[in-house]
């Protein structure tokens, strides 16, 4: 058992998952597995279903059909404690701009049941904000806020880490910091899943590739050099199908 009281898991599986919003089909019969140590890139154009997949994996969106298994158990079987093993960084960073960086992390640490103090100090250092923890988030750049939100999502040391477009608005320096952090997480045994349409940033970072379009899974394979060319080839073949 983990410290949260939830059985630990080293894989997550989507089994024939579909999701509809009214008449709109967001996902159609997606089956996919990610394992500890993976950095899985969910690739695809805008509107492909990547964010819906992240929501399903985070237990925030219920599948219309199919199921998700965490180490062989469903979210229903594991109960609400499962979310203590999941870290999520979505488009909304969930930071309070009127609070300082330290106050934000203190607040979320308490929500997660994590001791403040040393944990928050370490998170600020990893975000490159060790000397700016007393400053209000309102005055931070997009990159600083993104790095802070990343560490906010990781305070409780989740097993499954989900990122929805984590590089949006970041400069090269911030991209390097975030990419390095993702590699550290995977090396420590986390399951890392990134939804992105930025192929250049994904190339060389992700270890597996899942390509979705119009809610359907077109590709699931180990990442290889030449990701952009592979992406274009699969998209073109799908367009002719």
Mean pLDDT across 124-135 = 94
What is the span of the domain harbouring residue 174?
Answer: 11-240
Q: Quick check: is 134 in a domain?
A: yes
* Residue closest to 9 by CA, chosen among 58, 57, 71: 71
Domain count across the chain:
1
Helix (H) or strand (E) holding 164: strand 160-164
- The maximal CA–CA distance of the chain, rounded, in angstroms, is 57
Instruction: Answer for the pair 105, 115: CB distance below 8 angstroms, yes or no.
Output: no
Q: Quick check: is 59 in a domain?
A: yes
d(CA 209, CA 240): 21
* Residue closest to 189 by CA, chosen among 167, 161, 209: 161
pTM of the entire predicted model: 0.91
pLDDT on residue 241: 59
Q: Quick check: is 2 in a domain?
A: no
Distances (CA, A) of 193 to 4, 23, 87, 94: 22, 28, 10, 19
Q: Quick check: is 4 in a domain?
A: no
Q: Quick check: is 174 in a domain?
A: yes
Q: Quick check: is 212 in a domain?
A: yes
- The predicted-structure confidence for 90-121, as pLDDT tens digits, reads as follows 888 889 999 999 999 999 999 988 988 899 99
- The predicted-structure confidence for 54-71, as pLDDT tens digits, reads as follows 999 999 999 999 999 999
Mean pLDDT across 203-229 = 94
For the chain, give the mean pLDDT.
92
Q: Quick check: is 35 in a domain?
A: yes
pLDDT on residue 120: 96
Mean pLDDT across 17-36 = 96
Q: Quick check: is 6 in a domain?
A: no
From first CA to last CA, the distance across the chain in angstroms is: 47
Angle, alpha carbons 148-35-223 (nearest 5°): 85
d(CA 235, CA 58): 27
Helix (H) or strand (E) holding 171: none
By DSSP bridging, strand 216-222 and strand 208-213 are: antiparallel
CATH of residue 46's domain is 3.40.50.300
pLDDT on residue 197: 84
């Amino acid at each position: 058992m983990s410290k949260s009281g939830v059985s630990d898991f080293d894989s997550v599986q989507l089994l024939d998952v579909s999701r509809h919003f009214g008449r709109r089909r967001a996902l159609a019969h997606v089956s996919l597995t990610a394992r500890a140590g993976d950095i899985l890139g969910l690739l695809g154009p805008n509107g492909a279903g990547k964010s819906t997949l992240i929501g399903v994996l985070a237990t925030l969106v219920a599948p219309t059909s199919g199921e998700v298994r965490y180490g062989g158990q469903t979210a229903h079987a594991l109960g609400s404690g499962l979310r203590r093993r999941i870290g999520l960084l979505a488009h909304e960073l969930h930071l309070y701009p009127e609070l300082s960086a330290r106050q934000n992390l203190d607040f979320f640490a308490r929500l997660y049941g994590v001791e403040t103090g040393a944990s928050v100090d370490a998170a600020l250092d990893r975000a490159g904000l060790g000397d700016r923890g007393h400053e209000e988030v309102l005055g931070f750049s997009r990159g600083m806020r993104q790095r802070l939100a990343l560490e906010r999502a990781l305070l409780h040391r989740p097993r499954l880490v989900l990122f929805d477009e984590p590089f949006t608005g970041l400069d090269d320096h911030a991209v390097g910091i975030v990419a390095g952090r993702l590699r550290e997480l995977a090396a420590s045994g986390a399951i890392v899943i990134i939804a992105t349409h930025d192929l250049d940033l994904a190339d060389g970072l992700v270890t597996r590739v899942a390509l979705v379009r119009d809610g359907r899974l077109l590709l699931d394979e180990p990442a290889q050099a030449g990701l952009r060319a592979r992406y274009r080839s699969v998209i073109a073949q799908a367009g002719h199908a």
